[in-house]
Structure 1
Amino acid sequence: MMIVLALYKGRGDWKDKAIKFFTRGQYSHCEMAVANGDEWDCYTSSPRDGGVRMKTMKLSPTEWDLIKLPEKYIMPTIQLFHQTKGAKYDLIGALSVVILARENREKWFCSEWCGSVLGLPESWRFSPNDLAVFAKGLTK
């Protein structure tokens, strides 16, 4: 099995553009994605889907960058999903990457959720762009 950190670089809407601007990077969203044939089982917290969810999708290389991760992250991804499934999206928390707001332990935003899978303490401090840098270091 293969797992990747999937980073959304597509054009998106004004919210995606704002996230890229304020986090000073090319990514506005991230997912932990496990290979499933020619598609991916994607785990994250998404504002479009209301919070923590898993969705099977194709990840177009024009819209997504994929960073291969060690297989040891597959089980933590699935375990955290089962522990947090259905938890609400944390908009204030997502803004905290920029404005240093307080963490809400009952809600999640994408990079906080993925960072937690990767074992980062205080994962709420990380943006998708920060996770890209961290994940590239795991592949060396």
Structure 2
Amino acid sequence: MSKVYLAMYKGRKDGRGVKVWAARIADWVVRTVTRSPYSHCEIAVEHPRDGLFDCYSSSARDGGVRIKTMPLPADKWDLIPLPQSVAISAGRLFHRTHGAGYDWLGAIGVVLKSPHSKSRWFCSEWCAYAIGCTNPHRYTPGELADTIKP
């Protein structure tokens, strides 16, 4: 049986160029405004044999709700164990929301307490919904991690 985690991004984007610097600045802004070491989160389902994870979330960098298979190196990601049932919930939510755009106003609204989109998602909202949290649109990545940590 695959292990399931709330994967919390604490890293720094590698590479060079305008897109890399924009990503680094965006990560810094999220961490600074939310007073958290985390700028993004994913529901991660571990592949038992190859060290990769199927990661479900809504990503500004990827344009919205998507699944992405990737490694989660410990220097860039913290993994918080979740019940196996969250993998099923995340899969169902993904099938309902796949391709939905990124909710920029909702992400900003977490801090400003403004409205969110009913058809778009930001990362911590999507993950909180998959986990079963009440009012998922009110969680920053750091607040979600604090809520889930044992």
TM-score, normalised to structure 2, is 0.89
2: CA distance, partners of 1:86 / 1:63: 26
2: CA distance, partners of 1:35 / 1:10: 19
The aligned residue for residue 27 of structure 1 is 38
Partner SS, residue 58 of structure 2: strand
Unmatched tracts of structure 1, length 5 or more: none
1: CA distance, partners of 2:94 / 2:111: 26
2: CA distance, partners of 1:87 / 1:40: 21
Unmatched tracts of structure 2, length 5 or more: 14-23
Q: For 1:43-64, what per-residue CA distance to the aligned partner results, in whole angstroms no more than 9, with x for missing partners?
A: 0000010000000000010000
RMSD (Å), alpha carbons = 0.8
Partner SS, residue 77 of structure 1: helix
Q: For 1:10-54, what per-residue CA distance to the aligned partner results, in whole angstroms no more than 9, with x for missing partners?
A: 124000000001111100000000011310000000001000000
Q: Which of structures 1 and 2 has the bigger CA Rg? A: 2
User: Does residue 125 of the first structure (1) align with residue 138 of the second (2)?
Assistant: yes
Q: Return the letter of the residue paired with 2:86.
A: Y
Q: Give the number of aligned pairs.
A: 137
Q: Is the 8 A contact 1:11 1:17 kept in 2?
A: no
2: CA distance, partners of 1:82 / 1:111: 18
User: Does residue 80 of the first structure (1) align with residue 93 of the second (2)?
Assistant: yes
1: CA distance, partners of 2:140 / 2:63: 19
2: CA distance, partners of 1:23 / 1:29: 11
Tell me which moved more, 128-137 or 84-93: 128-137
Task: List, as ranges, runs of 4+ consecutive aligned residues in structure 1 with deviation greater than 4 Å.
Answer: none
2: CA distance, partners of 1:82 / 1:52: 10
TM-score, normalised to structure 1, is 0.95
Partner SS, residue 87 of structure 2: helix
Alignment partner of 1:58 out of 68, 71, 84: 71
Q: For 1:45-89, what per-residue CA distance to the aligned partner results, in whole angstroms no more than 9, with x for missing partners?
A: 000100000000000100000001111111001000000000000
Q: Return the letter of the residue paired with 2:140.
A: S
Q: Is the 8 A contact 1:112 1:123 kept in 2?
A: yes
